[in-house]
Amino acid sequence: MQATRRSFLSRTLAGAVVGGALAIGLTAAPAAAEALDDILKAGVIKIAVPQDFPPFGSVGTDLKPVGYDIDVANLIAKGLGVKAELVPVSSANRIPYLQTKKVDLVISSLGKNPDREKVIDFSVAYAPFFNGIFGPADVKVEKVEDIAGMTVGVTRGSVEDLELTKVAPPTADIKRYEDNNSTISAFLSGQVKVVATGNVVAAAILARNPPKKPTVKVLIKNSPCYVGLNKDEPKLLEKVNAILTAAKADGALEKISEKWLGAPLPKDL
Amino acid sequence: MAYSFDFSSLADYGPVLAKGVAITVELIVVGGALGVGLGIACAWAKALGPRWLRPIVSAYVELIRNTPFLIQLFFIFFGLPAIGVGLTEMQAAILAMVINLGAYACEIIRAGIEATPRGQFEAGASLAMSPIQTFRHVVLVPALQKIWPALTSQIVIVMFGSAVCSQISVEELTFAANFIQSRTFRAFESYIVATVLYLLLAVLLRQVMRGLGLFLFPRRRKTT
């Protein structure tokens, strides 16, 4: 409804500039207006990317965002033949950015769940991702019930937060932090005993060779990453899916996976 | 822009909000009381205390007043465990608020003390009151009376600052609003509710401080 009205208006305005007759023609066109048309016209696609979530997105030495998601964002922009404008977001505000049209796509290691599916649409999966409970080697956790009475750090609003909240025993003390950096800090400083987070976050902690090494204890959820789009934009969705499918077939996505995750794409992705 | 409000999706989160309000109140009551206490002690040290103590207190006040509250909080919560001082998030939050309010309250109260005429000290001494008695009855109470509105405002500011404590997983009102927002994606409604609750809390806090002022400074009742 909102999208329809906005593009109706923009079309009317654009039409008014071009000429009266054209304006009538455009406004008379069916109201199935598309973000894709606006993007192609502008020559720029605004994409929300993470900046605190290596290897999907972080700030490189030249202060520009780098990572898996950034490479995929550029891949999609290239596929559309437009310029990518990257907008850094946090995991808590990425969906509001999309809903308020500050961005056209969210490529921010976004997992799928029914709550989110109510408010936005998803492309096909573009990256492997799983969540688990991670802890130091000397902490014994074999199943999710074992975290009873333990402090568990998690990033608020993330998929692992929603899943952990569902499956955690009631005595588990879940501490929710604003972003992944805070969750990692809480774990490394000993403020929480274990963390519920993604495979890649744990890998990123390990890459920095900390005194406390997080190892996977329990798998909570396998949740590949999808590109998030606003609802009722079938043409954009179709195009994004086509670009991703082609990238899977020609090995472009495989290369990105090897580069950032050090592993090939899973067969079932 | 058409936006259809849906407050019903927030209905399930009543207990989360109630807990948030309770923890915000706890933070401000405990943090406010201890912070003002620390402020009074520092104001005494700075205005009347032993000479060696003054630069130490000044250094503390300047350090706190010239660094962001968030950094102070992170320092206590994420930094101190490195040297073995592990505080829970509530302890860290209250400690940070006390240290922060203490520094600001120190300067406010010191202004009140310095506005007290010198003759008042001498009058106290001439009545054979000890320095402590003089400070308590002759200096502090009139000083607090003078700066009570400024102190009230500072405590309200610190209450708003407590919103930052959500960053270290303290489940106060801002945490509750963020939590609900990230569960329902109803950002507008979540923050409207939080805004109204903060407004009510601030008005309530000012009224409590006003009542406390009337109780502490009965002579002023006529004029206020």
Instruction: Classify residue B41 by its DSSP letter.
Output: H
A66 and A25 assigned to the same domain: no
CA distances B63 to A255, B38, B102, B157, Å, are 50, 15, 12, 18
To the nearest whole angstrom, how far is the Cα of B129 from the nearest Cα of chain A? 50
Instruction: Classify residue B79 by its DSSP letter.
Output: I
Least confident of A32-36, A77-81, B110-114, B128-132: A32-36
Residue A221's pLDDT is 81
CA distances B204 to A259, B101, B194, B199, Å, are 56, 19, 15, 9
How many pairs of residues across A and B have Cβ atoms under 8 Å apart?
60
Q: Nearest Cβ partner of B179 from A2, A116, A176?
A: A176
Tell me if chain A has a CB within 8 Å of the CB of B1: yes
Range 9-68 of B in CB contact (< 8 A) with A: none
A→B interface, C-beta within 8 Å: 1-2, 5, 92, 95-96, 99, 115-116, 119, 153, 156-157, 161-162, 175-178, 182, 185-186, 189-191
A61 or B178, higher pLDDT: B178
Domain assignment present for A186? yes
Decide if pLDDT at B63 tops 70.
Answer: yes
To the nearest whole angstrom, how far is the Cα of B73 from the nearest Cα of chain A? 12
B103 or B216, higher pLDDT: B103
Domain span including residue B121: 14-222
Tell me if chain A has a CB within 8 Å of the CB of B91: no
Tell me which residue of A248, A255, A258, A261 sits closest to A124, measured CA to CA: A248
Which residue, among A100, A182, A184, A231, would best test binding to B if mutated, counting the most B CBs under 10 Å from its CB? Answer: A182
Decide if pLDDT at B35 tops 80.
Answer: yes
Which residue, among A181, A185, A193, would best test binding to B if mutated, counting the most B CBs under 10 Å from its CB? Answer: A185
Which residue, among B179, B181, B182, would best test binding to A if mutated, counting the most A CBs under 10 Å from its CB? Answer: B182
Residue A83's pLDDT is 95
To the nearest whole angstrom, how far is the Cα of A177 from the nearest Cα of chain B? 5
Domain assignment present for A74? yes
For residues A10 and A38, the answer to whether their CB atoms sit within 8 Å is yes
- DSSP letters along chain A, please? -HHHHHHHHHHHHHHHHH-HHHHHHHHHS-S---HHHHHHHHTEEEEEEESEETTTEEE-TTSSEESHHHHHHHHHHHHHTSEEEEEEE-TTTHHHHHHTTS-SEEEEEEPP-HHHHHHEEEEEEEE--EEEEEE-TTS--SSGGGGTT-EEEEETTSHHHHHHHHHS-TT-EEEEESSHHHHHHHHHTTSSSEEEEEHHHHHHHHHT--SS--EEEEEEEE--EEEEEESS-HHHHHHHHHHHHHHHHTTHHHHHHHHHHSSPPPTT-
Domain assignment present for A212? yes
Residue A181's pLDDT is 87
Domain assignment present for A268? no
Which residue, among A1, A175, A179, A231, would best test binding to B if mutated, counting the most B CBs under 10 Å from its CB? Answer: A175
Range 143-202 of B in CB contact (< 8 A) with A: 166-169, 171, 175, 178-179, 181-185, 187
Residue B121: band (very low, low, confident or very high) from pLDDT cuts 50, 70, 90: confident
A105 and A233 assigned to the same domain: yes
Instruction: Classify residue B218 by its DSSP letter.
Output: G
Q: How far is CA A193 from the centre of its chain?
A: 27
Decide if pLDDT at B213 tops 90.
Answer: yes
Say which CATH number the domain at A135 has. 3.40.190.10
Burial of B61 (0-12, 13-18, 19+ CB in 10 A): buried
Domain assignment present for B2? no
**A-chain residues near B166 (CB < 8 A):** 178
Tell me if chain A has a CB within 8 Å of the CB of B131: no
Q: Nearest Cβ partner of B187 from A96, A177, A182?
A: A96
Q: Which residue has the tokens 């960053």?
A: B167
- DSSP letters along A64-107, please? SEESHHHHHHHHHHHHHTSEEEEEEE-TTTHHHHHHTTS-SEEE
Domain assignment present for A211? yes
CA distances B184 to A84, B126, B181, B187, Å, are 30, 68, 5, 8
Domain assignment present for B56? yes
Domain assignment present for A174? yes
A98 and A66 assigned to the same domain: yes
A7 and A66 assigned to the same domain: no
Which residue, among B89, B91, B169, would best test binding to A if mutated, counting the most A CBs under 10 Å from its CB? Answer: B169
User: Hey, are the CB atoms on B169 and A96 less than 8 Å from each other?
Assistant: no
Q: Per-residue pLDDT for chain A (269 aa), expressed as one digit of tens each?
A: 454 555 555 555 554 544 444 444 444 444 446 789 999 999 999 999 998 887 899 888 888 899 999 999 999 999 999 999 999 998 889 999 999 999 999 999 898 989 999 999 999 999 988 888 999 989 999 999 999 999 999 999 888 899 899 999 999 999 999 888 899 989 998 999 999 998 878 877 877 778 888 888 888 888 789 999 999 899 999 999 999 999 999 999 999 987 887 666 777 77
User: Hey, are the CB atoms on B81 and A1 less than 8 Å from each other?
Assistant: no
Q: Nearest Cβ partner of B182 from A2, A156, A191?
A: A156
Say which CATH number the domain at B38 has. 1.10.3720.10
A65 and A136 assigned to the same domain: no
Q: Is the dihedral of CA A17, A18, A24, A26 positive or negative?
A: negative
A179 or B223, higher pLDDT: A179
Domain assignment present for B144? yes
Domain assignment present for A104? yes
CA distances B167 to A112, B31, B98, B159, Å, are 25, 17, 17, 15
A48 and A112 assigned to the same domain: yes
> Which of the residue ranges A126-130, A195-199, B48-52, B106-110 has the most confident prediction, judged by mean pLDDT?
B106-110
For residues B201 and B25, the answer to whether their CB atoms sit within 8 Å is yes
Domain assignment present for B145? yes
Q: Which residue has the tokens 């799983």?
A: A130
Q: Nearest Cβ partner of B178 from A1, A92, A119?
A: A92
Domain span including residue A29: 1-33
Query: How far is residue A70's CA from residue A126's CA, in Å, rounded to a whole number?
Result: 12
A189 and A199 assigned to the same domain: yes
Domain count, chain A: 3
Domain count, chain B: 1
Tell me if chain A has a CB within 8 Å of the CB of B83: no
Domain assignment present for B48? yes
User: Hey, are the CB atoms on B81 and A99 less than 8 Å from each other?
Assistant: no
- The C-alpha angle A174, B158, A52, rounded to 5 degrees, equals 45
Domain assignment present for B207? yes
Domain assignment present for A267? no
